[in-house]
Structure 1
Amino acid sequence: MEEKKPYVIAIIVQVIYAGMFVISKAAFDQGMNTFVFIFYRQAASSLLLLPVAVFLERKNAPPISFKIILKLFLYAFMGNTFSLNLYNLSMKLTSATVASATLNSQPVVTFCLALLLRMEVVRLRSFSGVAKVTGVVLCLAGVLVIALYSGPGISPINHHRVFASHALGTRSRATWIKGTFLMVLANMIWSLWIVKQAAVLKEYPNKMLMTLSQSVFSTVQSFIVAVVAERDFSKWKLHLDISLLAIIYNGFMVNAVSFYLQAWCVEMKGPVFLTSWTPLCLILTIFCSSVLGETVHLGSIVGGIILVGGLYSMLWGKSKENKVLPYKVNTLGIGVQNEQEHQHMEQKKGTEEQQVEQV
């Protein structure tokens, strides 16, 4: 049962994210300011996490250094404040399906950054190198299809739109393209944040307090951003509608529950194991959007499928590479093993062989 736990948790995380995309998009279409939304979301998460953390960790909390606090503050800005504000703004300009589809670009974007920084190497004469390049090409193709080709709308399962939209008419082509590429940028920042979670957990292995700290820091940061972006405080008022539901859902299910589960999953299986399940989120988002009466365009689905192909091509290439180079540092988190460990294993093997020869 313990072996199956990471798989169950990864599926739960994708279900939560699919709900986030659909409900958040409905709130934005009804006029909710995206920057104000992030502040309320982070505040709700902090209020929910604080009593739980105090109850569970008041006796077991390890001491935290100023260096760790500073890192958590910076990571909160990177993964919660900046990337989420950018993500929600781009979702408002596009659709929930596009948001879930572009999640599949995270490992590919991370690899491209590592390649530019000379942290990764591409060997075009090997199958792994060809697979990684293919993943990059498919990722780029998928993004371009989503951005430039909308295609015919697919008839929803429910022809009555559950949440009536207050959005102004049909989005222009330029708005859609801008939203798509902003979403890719948000995914790039988010993917870097996921990798950083694995690193900081080694220094401070308390997932609950790490999640709470970043949530509190992000609440303060998001408030400053929201005040600058929306100074009309009449638009900050909450009502009993889909916007309030979206805030509660995001604050509790996404920030509190899924972030904690995500940190656990990253610690157990690595960051890429979690991102490899994102195609499930796309399928669930398309289905939920259709049930709620949203029109899903063919271009978003085709682009999403191409992105999924790029994702798995990249993952396959990395897994093949690590079988050949077991000691190579893996930027994406698959099979990480440093050179010192490899040398130690070789020395140990040599010593054992010498002992056998002496016997």
Structure 2
Amino acid sequence: MREIGEEKVAWIYFTRDVVPFAAMFAVECTTVGSNTLYKAATLRGLNFYVFVFYSYVVSTTLLLPLSFVFGRSRSLPSAKSPLFFKIFLLGLIGFMSQIVGCKGIVYSSPTLASAISNLTPAFTFTLAVIFRMERVMLSSSATQAKIIGAILSISGALVIVLYKGPKVLAVASSTPSSLTISSHQHLTSVDSSWILGGLLLASQYFLISVWYIIQTRVMEVYPEEITVVFFYNLFATLISAPVCLFAESNLTSWVLKPDITLTAIIYSGVFVSLFSALTHTWGLHLKGPVYISLFRPLSIAIAVAMGAIFLGDSLHLGSIIGSIILCFGFYTVIWGKAREDTIKTIAGSEQSPLLITHIIEDEAFPLR
């Protein structure tokens, strides 16, 4: 009986902790891969409006049969219900985040996008507090750690955006982005583009945090991941069609060639709009918005490696300093979140009153 109990505990730990961790790590890898492919495709002339629209079309087409096969355990809510409006809002916010994100990468690089993504935990935590999805107890060391971590994350992002600094690692590349230009042009055009790209990427990750909050509310009412993600992509496709066609009226830009541009679109549609959206929706239902957002900093190392190998991106001192501050803030938030979860678990279980008293005392006097 004891062995059966241990196996049950191990299985619960595996399904509730190991599997979500592995899934979130895989999502970050696929997201960085999509950013790198997109950046390479733009150097071949891919328009980002074309990229965004076709990506949603690919994911919606693939999700249509899946929603009929795996997403029919519950009846669909009424089209006039608040739930459908929230899903439509998800499509609008997702489309807006894609647009500003793609434009931000055009002005900067996938490495900067991954660095700025560290703002997501701070944004998500702040919004979760505003919408009462996270508890705030200023006397608690867990809450203090989350607040300090959020401030450090924002500070690190500002360092990355406002201070580029000298090159620490330069990789030779034959891509058009590495063509030599005069020093004056480099300082004026590249640095200003870097700041604009950083601001656009910060806007993207704020919108993503809003998406997490709304999606969590949707899943509380209608916990059908595949159906919700299908309608999200469908609404995003319907919203993006007129906007993208109006913004890019040159019909030749919409003709796809069987090269890296087509690869980038298919990859984004399958692994970002479909796989990442499904995984995030499932994770939000299981773990909540703050947990999902905490995995964004993992993308820094992945982006640096991919950018150096495939794009010839250079690593700058500002990115290193800002990333260190961001990571310190990130792990401070993680510590606070883990501390809070531990207290909830102990307080909610039938443990020794002495142990619970010790935890409460430690919270009241964290520096004792």
Give yes or no for TM over 0.5: yes
CA distance in 2, matches of 1:114, 1:285: 28
CA distance in 1, matches of 2:284, 2:124: 16
Aligned residue among 85, 107, 113 for 1:70: 85
1:305 partner letter: I
Give the equivalent residue in structure 1 for 2:15.
2
C-alpha distance in structure 2 between counterparts of 1:31 and 1:96, whole Å = 17
1:314 aligns with: 333
Q: CA deviation at 1:75?
A: 1.2
Residues 1:45 and 2:59 are matched in the alignment: yes
Q: Secondary structure at the match of 1:151?
A: coil
Code of the residue aligned with 1:96 in structure 2: it is P
Q: Deviations over 1:11-45 (max 9, x none)?
A: 21111112112111212233322222111110111
Structure 2 residue aligned with 1:141 = 155
Deviation at 1:117, TM superposition (A): 7.9
| Alpha-carbon distance in structure 2 between the residues aligned to 1:135 and 1:118 | 19
Q: Contact 1:151–1:297 at 8 Å: present in 2 too?
A: no
For the residue of structure 2 that corresponds to 1:172, the secondary structure is helix
Q: Is the 8 Å Cα contact of residues 26 and 165 (structure 1) preserved in structure 2?
A: no
Could you say if the C-alpha distance between residues 166 and 204 of structure 1 is closer, same or farther in structure 2, counting changes exceeding 3 Å?
Answer: farther
Check the 8 A contact 2:164/2:191 in 1, yes or no. no
Q: Is it true that 1:151 corresponds to 2:170 in the alignment?
A: no
Measure, in 1, the Cα distance between the counterparts of 2:106 and 2:40.
9
Residues 257/120 of structure 1: CA separation in 2 closer, same or farther (3 Å cut): closer
- TM-score norm. by structure 1 comes to 0.81
Q: 2 CA distance for matches of 1:143 and 1:151? A: 14
**How many Å separate the matches in 1 of 2:66 and 2:127?**
37
**AA at the equivalent of 2:89:** L
Aligned partners of 1:105 and 1:139 also within 8 Å: yes
**Percent identity of equivalent pairs:** 31
The total of aligned residue pairs comes to: 327
Structure 1 residue 319, shift from structure 2 partner: 4.4
Query: Residue 190 of structure 1: CA displacement?
Result: 0.5
Q: In 2 relative to 1, CA 323–6 (structure 1 residues): closer, same or farther, beyond 3 Å?
A: closer
After alignment, is 23-32 or 188-197 more displaced? 23-32
1:329 is matched with which residue?
A: none
Is 2:102 the counterpart of 1:88?
Answer: yes
Larger deviation: 18-27 or 143-152? 143-152
> Which residues in structure 2 correspond to 1:1-359 (within 5 Å)?
1-3=14-16, 4-57=18-71, 59-66=72-79, 67=81, 68-78=83-93, 80-113=94-127, 126-155=140-169, 159-161=172-174, 164-165=176-177, 170=186, 171-298=189-316, 299-320=318-339
* 8 Å contact kept, 2:39–2:106: yes
Aligned-residue CA RMSD (Å): 3.0
5+ residue gaps, structure 2: 1-13, 354-368
